[in-house]
Chain A
Amino acid sequence: MIPALNPAYIVGTGNTRFGRLEGYGALELMAQAAQRALDDACMSPAAVDGVLCGYATTLPHLMLSTLFCERFSLQPAYAHSVQLGGATGGAMLMLARELVRSGRCRNVLVVGGENRLSGQARDSAIQTLAQVGDADFEVPNGASVPAYYALLASRYMHETGLTEADLAELAVLMRSHAMHHPDAHLREPITREQVLASKPIASPLKLLDCCPISDGAMALVVSAESRRSPAVAILGAGQAHRHQHLSAIADTFNLGARDAAGRAFAEAGLQPGDIDYLAIYDSFTITLAILIEETGFAPRGGSAARVRRGDFSAGGALPLNTHGGLLSFGHSGVAGGMGHAVEAYRQLAGLAGERQIAERRCAFVHADGGVLSSHVSLILGRED
């Protein structure tokens, strides 16, 4: 008989402020977030027996996880880095859960962070990111990450009737949430008209359809036991990887999000109807619209209608990214993609302070890497 697997709980989170944090390196930012997560978990560094970390474009290193461990004076029994673009944070949480479930580790520290904004020239960041395109078939055309998403957007909007004004609703919603988070990068209120009138980047995407580039770090601790009440467990997880490059997308309506979500729900034994909080990756407004719609939380072309009805607002039926998402809380690479899960945990655990919304029991977390290439879904549940 196969022995029962251990449960896995999120027991602590930590983050730095996001934005321009001049003078800090990637490891220093990671250390700040990690310290806050351990403090939040009331955990001694000696209790950490697993460390997972992401990558940093400003600190390419063969062994970032153990470099971090040395600087942060950790000596875990298990460590390595994970690289899956924007889905790295989700993949690390999924793996941390597996390590705890199997009994390999008791307490896994998951950390990501970098000085993506202040540590390099903007052009250099944009060019590094553009390399997710195919080196022969895509990048030589002078394509960029916004251009890849813009191409996908043009097709998706053509097929669904989603409009630029619809996308603007998502940008405004994310900003309205970030306004209430003291650590968010962009907190000035914006209007739909301002989004529509913002500088063109790659049509149909304009500046305010795109997330900013930020400095910042995030960390979580995943453990076999939670002493906190209510506890928050990771109940299910799933991945899907159907393509790497935009040119290789076989079906605009089946990019992998639905497959990943289906696997996570099946594992958790839950249905989308059980979800009362959404934490969904939003590198661009179109990313958020496609992911909400492919995972079934709005009909095709219908995500903005739910925004207009207030469903995704902090006081709505299905609050979405109450920290402000990548679009407004900010995007510092791996850490940016961890922010959604960190906020979902805080809302479920009742630890969101002034942003705390009405009691939530079950969160759906989804991240994608590349050009909607790699998908990771997680389901977090509150246990009283």
Chain B
Amino acid sequence: MSTSPFIEGLAHRELRYQCCVACGAVQTLTRYACRSCDGNRFDWRVSRGEGTVFAVTVVARAPSEEFRALAPYALVLVDLDEGFRLMGHAVPGVAIGDRVVADYFIHGERTLIRFRP
């Protein structure tokens, strides 16, 4: 199984994102083509991890046993300053519009992001 550069980055406590080689557009997720031009080659860059909360929820009903112990937990979508959006955990109390920075925590075998003010 191939590991994505994003997941690999998390293990190194790095927040990686795709940047189009041709036009420099930044995009979220892993794509095989650029949203902004015809480009299909990307650099993975490392974000400073600073951004603004776009959306927030507090999950009370965890979807699986491994997350039940964490509930209730806050999930957020954050617009990172480099120009991409990312889902992560957040410390309690963050609200839309808050400035946050990425922190990391180990959950099971994975490194996950937890944003904090």
Contacts and interface: CB of A to CB of B under 8 A. Distances in A.
A136 B28 contact: no
Contacts of A202: 57-61, 75
Interface string B55-82: 1111111111111001011011100000
Contacts of B29: 134, 136-137, 245, 247-248
Contact of A247 (B66, B87, B89): B87
Contacts, number: 104
A247 B73 CA distance: 19
B86 A247 contact: yes
A152 B63 contact: no
Contact of B87 (A144, A154, A155, A246): A246
B59 A142 contact: yes
Contact of B62 (A142, A151, A158, A247): A142
A188 interface: no
Contact of B63 (A126, A137, A204, A247): A126
B57 A154 contact: yes
B46 interface: no
Contacts of B59: 142-144, 147, 150, 201-202
B68 to A, nearest CB: 9
A136 B2 CA distance: 12
Interface in B4-18: 4, 6-7
Contacts of B67: 142
Nearest to B6: A136
Contacts of B75: 141-143, 147, 151, 202
Contact of B55 (A142, A144, A151, A200): A151
A141 B76 CA distance: 10
A308 interface: no
Contacts of A200: 58, 60-61, 72
Given A136-B30, A151-B75, A146 B61 contact: yes
Given A141-B75, A152-B55, A155-B54, A201 B28 contact: no
Interface string A119-148: 000010011001000101110111110110
Given A154-B56, A247-B87, A248-B29, A140 B110 contact: yes
Nearest to A138: B87
A363 to B, nearest CB: 33
Nearest to A126: B63
B101 interface: no
Interface of A is mostly: helix
B66 A142 contact: yes
A147 B29 CA distance: 18
A138 B55 CA distance: 14
Contact of A147 (B54, B57, B86, B96): B57
B87 A143 contact: yes
A200 B55 CA distance: 18
A54 B8 CA distance: 37
B88 interface: yes
B63 A144 contact: yes
B111 to A, nearest CB: 10
A199 interface: yes
Interface in A161-192: none
B77 A246 contact: yes
A118 B92 CA distance: 36
A203 B76 CA distance: 12
A158 B97 CA distance: 10
Contacts of B58: 200, 202-203
A136 B7 contact: yes
B64 A123 contact: yes
Contact of A130 (B63, B86, B88, B96): B63
Given A126-B63, A150-B57, A200-B61, 17 more contacts: A123-B63, A137-B28, A141-B88, A142-B73, A151-B55, A152-B55, A153-B57, A154-B55, A155-B54, A158-B55, A200-B58, A201-B59, A202-B58, A203-B57, A204-B57, A247-B28, A247-B77
18 contacts: A130-B63, A137-B29, A140-B110, A141-B88, A142-B66, A142-B67, A142-B107, A144-B59, A144-B61, A151-B87, A154-B57, A155-B55, A155-B77, A155-B96, A200-B58, A200-B61, A201-B59, A201-B61
